[in-house]
Amino acid sequence: MRITRDFKDYEILDAGNGEKLERWGSIILRRPDPQAMWNVSDYSLWKDVHAHYIRSHKGGGYWDYKKKLPDNWVINYKDLKFKVSPTDFKHTGLFPEQAANWDYMISKIKNSNRHIKVLNLFAYTGGATIACSYAGADVVHVDAAKGMVAWAKENMHLSGLDDNNIRFIVDDCLKFVMREARRGNKYDAIVMDPPSYGRGPNGEVWKFEDSLYKLIDACMDIISDNPLFFLINSYTTGISNTVLDNILKTTILKKYSSGKVESGEIGLPITRDNLVLPCGIYGLWEQND
């Protein structure tokens, strides 16, 4: 399991009974998390929160604000800065567990000793985009949600990367990859965080089980002759990391057998009781050093 342990501005204080108690800078939030299936031993930490996201029995939910807090605020991860804001869908615009992957990508790009071009698909608010750009790569950031792309641009500004080469594109990811193949454009690294279900800007339907292999197979036409890495993240319930392992072995490893494939879980430490909260899976092909 890849575990993020160096996030000074973020901390899971406690978790259990289907929820987690988090510190985002100086703000304490309480949010649902279905992976926290064990019991909370002591609720004393949970009494002093700024906001609590409560799920509705009819679906969705709402924030119950206990204290006044800003619409958004900024947290740091090492040299990177990100805007955080509670959304109607319980999310905050950032997945801190991905910092373990940011560290990996930064190190891989910096140690490649060559210029790297990265494609970030389903790029959301740009955590991976910011990390790869910080490491010196040119990045193309693609997401179907215009608002998330705007948020990613704010993160670029906050991290002082305005002069770096980042292209922000609002588009359906599969259609964009297919157009890039027709244009003859190539990428040395591809990272993606595909949702379980989604729609493109023109109503294109994405369903993880039906669409993932098709997208990865299409990416084989735009991967460069000397690729660095290919990273897939997933939060889709019921999907094993072995599925990602198998897909990578039957696509990019078949084409670039000099590399290697690994997969596993990603997680975050829980301060109380020294536990780890699982937060999704990853699959990785990388060029051998």
10-residue block means of pLDDT along the chain (289 residues)?
Answer: 96 97 97 95 93 87 94 97 94 97 98 96 97 98 96 98 97 96 98 85 77 94 97 93 96 95 97 94 93
CATH 2.60.40.1180 spans which residues of the chain? Answer: 2-78
Alpha-carbon Rg of the chain, whole angstroms?
19
How far is 82 from 130, CA to CA, in rounded Å? 9
Compute φ and ψ for 121, nearest 5 degrees. -100, 145
CA distances from 61 to 22, 24, 49, 145 (A): 18, 20, 17, 21
CATH 3.40.50.150 spans which residues of the chain? Answer: 95-287
Cβ(65)–Cβ(28) under 8 Å? no
How far is 187 from 63, CA to CA, in rounded Å? 41
Tokens of 49: 């929160």
pLDDT at residue 100 in the model? 97
Class of domain 95-287: alpha beta
pLDDT at residue 203 in the model? 76
**pTM for the model:** 0.94
Sign of CA dihedral 33, 34, 37, 40: positive
pLDDT at residue 77 in the model? 98
How far is 217 from 195, CA to CA, in rounded Å? 17
pLDDT at residue 202 in the model? 76
pLDDT at residue 41 in the model? 87
pLDDT at residue 237 in the model? 86
How far is 51 from 238, CA to CA, in rounded Å? 29
pLDDT at residue 240 in the model? 94
pLDDT at residue 89 in the model? 86
Cβ(258)–Cβ(288) under 8 Å? yes
Please give the CATH superfamily to which domain 2-78 belongs.
Answer: Golgi alpha-mannosidase II (2.60.40.1180)
